[in-house]
Amino acid sequence: MGASVELVRPNGIMRVDLGHTAALNSAGGAALRFGFGSEAVFLSRKTAHNGETSEGLSGRRVFVVCVNSAVFAPRMSCFTAKKLDCEGSYSDTFCMGNSAANNSTQVKSTARTIRSMIESAGERVWRFVDFNSLPPAAVAQTLSRLSRQGIIQRLGKGLYYRSRPTVFGDSKPNRSQLRSLPISRKGVFPSGVSAAQLLGFTTQNPGRIEVATDGLSLPRLIIGKDTLIHTRRPESWRLLSQEDAAFLDFLRKSAANSELSPEETASRLLAIAGEDGRLSRLLKVSASEPPRVRAMLGAIAEQLGTSTGKLAQIRASLNPLSRFDFGILTALAHSSQWQAKERKQK
């Protein structure tokens, strides 16, 4: 039996007898030709030593990705114990070529889809989340290209605007519309005067909007450039309503934004805490609040008649040597038992 090699092809392994092939000599341009049916595989090795023949390949396994039988210059990837060079001018394998072609087709299809959506929708603001069903990389590339072409206007990171023509020129984005956009993966809650106003402790309109978020930042184009942002609120706030979050923020500010007297503030706070199981919801997330807020919640809970077991859990989470600034909430009946500092009389 003559020497042979195994050709690993997509449809199986074929053993080829080297006795019927041309010798691989020192000419450098000579090649091994394996013929089976109408196909032909050419392998060359430019690093061949003088006198080496096809038998030198005996027992090795050659991996063939593709064979071009029409033009005897195959696109192929060959690996043996010693590297074999590919004969032909192609630098990519057939598989890589197919993959690149498929990716290019997918990007073009995505670009057509996005452009059609934008042009048919008329004037509006677009974000990445509007194309969640499409490949993210292709979406980013397409939106960037459309922005350079002037079809859409880039307002900021991930925010684009499709204008409409008017007699005075192209339309401008509506700021109130931008601020009404939902912010994905981040909670946004009222804070400061806005929180106090929501709860009915003040009637004044804030000169500067304040919001709180559990993220590290918020997009200024959506919430406004002048908005005061308080970051790093607990993620547990997402389980709460806007009123519940405003209640906790009001405690964090020690009721400083209340226009009511200390006694009226404490009375209204107790009434709000007793609505619709609000106190129970707040106690569930109290572990993520600062100790001063937990102490205030304890004083409110005790005055509303919460069970001693729940009160003991809150008290156990506090350092017994600490004293907390309750502000005007020292008017709560049990503030001193919850380690509130004495309020200085003005």
Span of 160-169, 173-182, 191-200, 211-220 with lowest mean pLDDT: 173-182
Length, in residues, of the chain: 346
- Domain end, chosen from 150, 173, 196, is at 173
Q: Do 122 and 87 share a structural domain?
A: no
**Has residue 196 got a pLDDT over 60?**
yes
Q: Confirm if 161 and 173 have CB atoms less than 8 A apart.
A: yes
Q: Is residue 182 part of a domain?
A: no
Report the alpha-carbon distance of residue 302 to residue 332 in Å, rounded: 10
Is the pLDDT at 41 greater than 60? The verdict is no
Show which of 51, 68, 91 is a domain's final residue. Answer: 91
Domain for residue 343, yes or no? Answer: no
Q: Which two tokens stand for residue 255?
A: 């009721």
Mean pLDDT of 244-263: 96
Q: Are the C-beta atoms of residues 56 and 5 closer than 8 Å to each other?
A: no
Q: Are residues 207 and 275 in the same domain?
A: yes
| pLDDT one-digit tens code per residue, 147-169 | 999 999 988 778 898 998 888 88
153: which strand partners? 161
The answer to whether residues 85 and 108 belong to one domain is no
**70 and 112 assigned to the same domain:** no
Q: Are residues 124 and 17 in the same domain?
A: no
Domain for residue 25, yes or no? yes
- On whether both 322 and 198 belong to a single domain, the answer is yes
Domain count, the chain: 3
Read off the CATH number of the domain in which 116 is found: 1.10.10
Q: Is residue 23 part of a domain?
A: yes
Q: Could you tell me if 193 and 313 lie in one domain? A: yes
Pairing of strands 165-166, 12-17: unpaired
**Residue 231 confidence (pLDDT):** 93
- Where a domain ends, among 91, 118, 146? 91
Q: Which of the given ranges, 89-98, 104-113, 210-219, 321-330, has the highest pLDDT on average?
A: 321-330
245 and 109: one domain? no
144 and 23 part of one domain? no
Both structure tokens of 183? 């912010």
Is residue 299 included in any domain, yes or no? yes
For the ranges 161-170, 201-210, 220-229, 293-302, the lowest mean pLDDT is seen at 220-229
Q: Name the DSSP class of 55.
A: G
Do 200 and 163 have their domain in common? no
- Residue type at position 68: N
User: Residue written as tokens 């603001």?
Assistant: 125
Residue 90 CA to chain centroid, in angstroms? 39
How far, in Å, CA of 27 to CA of 25, rounded? 6
Between residues 75 and 239, the one the model is more confident about: 239
Residue 65's pLDDT band (boundaries 50, 70, 90)? very low
The dihedral region occupied by 40, where left means phi > 0, alpha psi between -120 and 50, and beta the remainder, is beta
Residue bearing the bigger pLDDT, 207 or 214:
214
**Residue 104 three-state SS:** helix
- CA separation (Å) from 50 to 28, 46, 54? 10, 11, 12
96 assigned to some structural domain: no
Instruction: Check if the beta carbon of residue 46 is closer than 8 Å to that of residue 60.
Output: no
- β-pairing, 165-166 with 159-162? unpaired
Given a cut of 50, whether residue 92 has pLDDT beyond it is no
Whether residues 264 and 209 fall in one domain: yes
Between 98-107, 192-201, 214-223, the lowest mean confidence (pLDDT) is in 98-107
Which residues face 68 on adjacent strands?
A: none
Is the pLDDT reported for residue 221 higher than 80?
no
Could you tell me if 227 and 315 lie in one domain? yes
The predicted pLDDT at position 88 comes to 43
- Domain containing 70 equals 4-91
Cα-to-chain-centroid distance, residue 4: 54
pTM for the predicted model, two decimal places: 0.57
User: How far is it, in rounded angstroms, from Cα 331 to Cα 311?
Assistant: 19
Residue 163 CA to residue 173 CA, distance in Å, equals 8
Element (H, E) at 127: strand 124-127
Does 59 map to a domain?
yes
Distance CA 298, CA 268 (A): 16
Q: Is residue 179 part of a domain?
A: no
